[in-house]
Chains A and B, each alone.
Chain A
Amino acid sequence: MKIIEFENVSKIYTNGNNILKALDEVSFSLEEGKFIVILGPSGAGKSTLLNLLGGLDSPSSGKIIYQGKDIAKLSNDELAEYRAATVGFIFQSYNLIPTLTVKENIMLINEVVDKPFLAQEVLKEVGLLEHMNKFPSELSGGEQQRVSIARAIAKNPKILLCDEPTGALDSETGVLILKLLLKMAKTYNKTIVIVTHNQNIAKLADIVVKVRNGKITSFKEQVPLSADEVEW
């Protein structure tokens, strides 16, 4: 089943006289429950793609259809509702609130989500239950990213969107995080989209989308390898 659909989506940034086409008439659709990797060099437009998927930004033209509705046309508040109900974001830089404890960082979603998973439950899943009363600054990078994953999962979103989730981590921790992401996606039956320039991550995906100069250059389904089969 298609979960989300892009129709001729363009995103143009203007900066004075410079016009930058971050996305150029992109069309594709994503299947529910799949693991999708968007691959491309920096500046290719892959982050823009992810931001549009996540409702962080609106396209300059084109349609983004989610459950029959064009999210490109949503108001700011409707977009916020879309983000709250549909997507869970995981960033390279974790983006935890430094003044809230681990548990509180997860519980803050209670403000925007009707039926979130219990903080304790997801923290147990990511293996951080014993750290739940610590502040983010007291955790390692990998641990912080695990909190961020737990927070994204706790929302019980349809899609997990990850922007270079292992970018700030050493490769060993990165693999652990990826494994966790895959495990979580399976446990909770989530669609995952990862944006990266790391070719290795692409090997784990059901679908690999290659992006270059604002266009999709290839869209391939493949048989994924398990994380242990990949040489990191």
Chain B
Amino acid sequence: MLFKKIWRTVLMYKTQFISMIIMISLGIGIFLGFNVEWYSIKENVENHFEVTNFADYRIYNEFGFTEDDLIKITENKEVKRASRFLAIDTDVKYKNGKTITLAINENEDISGFIVVDGEKYNKESIDGIWLSKSYAKANNVSVGDKITLIYENVEFKLIVKGLIHAGEYLVNVRDETQLMPDYSTHGYGYISPKMCFDTLGFEYYPQINVLSSLDKSQFKDIVKKVFGKTLIILSKDENVSYAGCKGEIKEGKTMGSILPAIFLFVASLTMVTTMHRLVVKEKSQIGTLKALGFKDRRIVLHYTFYSFMVAIIGAVFGLGLGHIIASFILKPSGAMMVYLDVPDFKLYMPDFCIVLLIVMVLSLTLIGYLSVYKMLKTPAAETLRPYTPKNIKKVFFEDIDFWDKLGFGAKWNIRDSLRHKSRTFMSIVGVIGCAGIVIASLGINDTMDAFLELNYNKAMLYNSKINLVKSVSQDNINNLIEKYNGDSSASIHGQIEDKAISIDIYNLENNYVRFNNIDNRFEELKDNGAYISLRIAKEFDLEVGDSFSITLYGSDKTYMLKINGIIRSLSESVVITSKYAGKLNLPYSIDTIYTETVSNEIFLEDSILNVQSKQALIDTFDRFLEIMNLIITILIIIAIILGIVVLYNLGIMSYTERYKEMATLKVVGFKDKQIAQLLVGQNIGITIIGIVLGIPLGVIILDYLVISLASEYEMTMVLNVATYLICILIIMGMSLFVSFMVARKNKNIDMVEALKGID
């Protein structure tokens, strides 16, 4: 019988019931959504790395490794497996501008791939290529098609034998300036060592990939022992694919922590208030049940079950919503799935989310239990009387003159807000949460935009970047520099202690490339010192004026560099001028020319590997930002929905509690519009307080998020004035919308009913 009453209670307070479920669902949904997102990336990617035996270390030697070298490495019992490896950048014949990284791998049990279409990998194949499925899809290539690849005048005539996903090329970018893969122009493929040997006529493996559980310094010692000199060793953390995935996971974790937690917090707190009010409203019913002789236990059970129902339905919907959000971010056509080239992406939920779900259901149920338990402690006779809120008392500021100057509406609203403290507090918390989330989310966007502006539009003053082939002669380089009035640079690999870094040597006559320092001002490169990236400075605790030593790969010679400045950089690099490199006697050869000439006016001659336009770089960055923008959009939309539900719920509560007062005003002669204005006025006040407190909170959150994300981008927090205004507009708009939704109800106030005396 009490069971029947449950449904009636649900129906009677359907606004509360529905809004509580929506709040819980949204809170849980966004929390699960973001956490399922990063966890799914982690699981899928780790799985893919494992299945394809992603190498732990890559050893480089530009003179190539012999079979003996490989055996010597493999002989070490700490090395599980190793393979000689070669990757070359080839152009696709007849398809101008399309490139494919061709991988030749002696042992497919390391740095391998999985075939998703066509025949399985054949070591002996002399005409087959196992091509990236994503490239094939973007270029309408199928199994059986012919494809010809050109590498420095050598042609590889190939037949597509299979379509693959390779762990090694999980994040398949042409070079480190390209942040986002673009499979329509760049792909990867594997051919057999036999095919490579047949075409080139010689064997050349500048790389050995190694599976080993040793840490880097141990592994370095082994390599040094085997080869007798320092070689470039890159751990998987220094690999684009691995680091890119880790970056996405970290980013997802960051986004999945504080912001969704705010949602959960606001939703739970509002649930407390709503349950309390609901029980309060049911006060006389509870009294009746008690008077009828129902045991407390059954009454408690009744209301506890009610909140349990809210919790369980909210949790189920939240679970669904979370998976919808995650699959929306990870949709196959979305930026994330272009970035991470894995087959059959599946969603995984982290274990702590299950714990969270259980804790949420239990604590929400407990909220219901506690709400009614408190009420039951009073005797039946007391409970039978309807609820009367606490009597109002004067507040300190009423003695100030200004209080008397306030209009009746302001006084009424302020006293009402103070009388129903928990309701007011919750409304403010709701607005704070919303404003905070909106500011932080929009701020990420601002920060990214500013970052793009600074690092691309302002720091790169060239239009095209010409990448040179390795074998180019100094004469050719000089000709090109002269022809295109270019600046030039070279990158060499080295390390600080154990850390692989790149040393970028610039010769800037035209200042086509600029470097911004930590104060976000452009640093003029001087010829007497080095400029290190912020991350390097932090990692090795270096400051301007300090000196540090680097070693170059392939030699044991160390060079001492003095720090002239600290710069923000996309890559972890040391930047020096060519003159300083000359002073240091650093060996280098120019590999890049920067020019104002637009890319399609640059004649592709033999010494030019390819030409990249600045716009193309910006486009990939924009595409890269799509991932973040999607997350931001979801956050803002959910924040607004949650805000609307929380405020509507509390608005209805306020409306109900002031019903009689509004009826009185109506009797006295207030028009509906005037009463509506009073109601809206209270909400505006609460919203202003919420915004004033919420914006600083948002800034704090943004600061935290930017710091958490900064390791990857070296960004500085930026918030535009417009963003503050947009946030204020969004929150105000939301609050006004809710206010009007509630206020328009006052037309239906039944004065006669409301003001009936007690008979």
Contact = CB atoms under 8 A, between A and B. Distances in A.
B408 A89 contact: no
B408 A100 contact: yes
A99 B408 contact: no
B677 to A, nearest CB: 10
B484 to A, nearest CB: 77
Nearest to A83: B669
Contacts of B411: 99-100, 104
Nearest to B674: A111
B408 A111 contact: yes
A84 B757 contact: no
A95 B660 contact: yes
B667 A95 contact: yes
A189 interface: no
A57 B749 CA distance: 11
Contacts of A83: 666-669
B667 A54 contact: yes
Nearest to A167: B757
Contact of A97 (B407, B664, B674): B664
A93 B668 contact: no
Interface string B658-678: 001101111111111110000
A89 B407 CA distance: 23
Contacts of A97: 412, 661, 664-665
B757 A164 contact: yes
B412 A95 contact: no
A98 B752 CA distance: 19
Most A Cβ at <10 Å: residue of B409, B664, B672, B673? B664
Interface string A45-85: 00100010010110000000000000000001100111111
Given A80-B671, A104-B408, A98 B392 contact: yes
A89 B668 contact: yes
Given A80-B671, A84-B668, A99-B415, A91 B757 contact: yes
Contacts of B661: 97-99
Most A Cβ at <10 Å: residue of B415, B419, B674? B415
Contact of B668 (A42, A76, A109): A109
A91 B411 CA distance: 24
A108 B415 contact: no
A155 B416 contact: no
Contacts of B415: 99-100
A89 B758 contact: no
B153 interface: no
B391 interface: yes
Nearest to B407: A111
A107 interface: yes
B759 interface: yes
Contact of B669 (A51, A84, A107): A84
Contact of A137 (B391, B664, B665): B391
Interface string A30-43: 00000000000010
A108 B752 CA distance: 20
Contacts of B660: 95
Contacts of B663: 95
B672 A76 contact: yes
Q: Name the interface size band of chain B.
A: 35 or more
Most A Cβ at <10 Å: residue of B392, B411, B666, B668? B668
Contact of B758 (A47, A92, A100): A92
Contacts of B419: 98-99
A167 B755 CA distance: 14
Contacts of B756: 93
B751 interface: yes
Contacts of A112: 668-671, 674
A185 interface: no
B747 interface: yes
Contacts, number: 104
A161 to B, nearest CB: 10
A155 B674 CA distance: 18
Contact of A56 (B408, B665, B667, B671): B667
Contact of A107 (B408, B666, B667): B408
B751 A56 contact: yes
A113 interface: yes
B691 to A, nearest CB: 25
A110 interface: yes
Contacts of A135: 391-394
A163 interface: yes
Contacts of B672: 76-77, 80
Contacts of A175: none
B669 A137 contact: no
A155 B664 CA distance: 14
A196 to B, nearest CB: 11
Contacts of A42: 759
Nearest to A104: B411
Contacts of A129: none
B392 A99 contact: yes
A168 interface: yes
Contacts of B751: 51, 56-57
A91 B755 contact: yes
A83 B667 CA distance: 7
B757 A168 contact: yes
Interface string B378-392: 000000000001011
Contacts of A92: 757-758
Contacts of A56: 667, 751-752
A95 B662 CA distance: 10
Contacts of B664: 95-97
Nearest to A110: B408
Nearest to B663: A95
Interface of A: 42, 47, 51, 54, 56-57, 76-77, 80-85, 89, 91-93, 95-100, 104, 107-113, 135, 137-138, 151, 155, 163-164, 167-168
30 contacts: A42-B759, A56-B751, A76-B672, A77-B672, A77-B673, A80-B669, A82-B669, A84-B668, A84-B670, A85-B669, A91-B757, A92-B757, A93-B757, A95-B663, A96-B664, A98-B389, A98-B392, A108-B665, A108-B668, A109-B668, A111-B670, A112-B669, A112-B674, A135-B392, A135-B394, A151-B668, A155-B669, A164-B757, A167-B757, A168-B758
Given A95-B755, A108-B668, 14 more contacts: A47-B752, A54-B667, A57-B752, A80-B670, A82-B669, A91-B755, A92-B758, A93-B756, A95-B667, A97-B412, A99-B416, A99-B661, A100-B408, A138-B391
In the A-B complex, the 5 residue pairs with the smallest Cβ-Cβ separation, listed nearest first, are: A84-B669, A92-B757, A99-B415, A112-B669, A137-B391
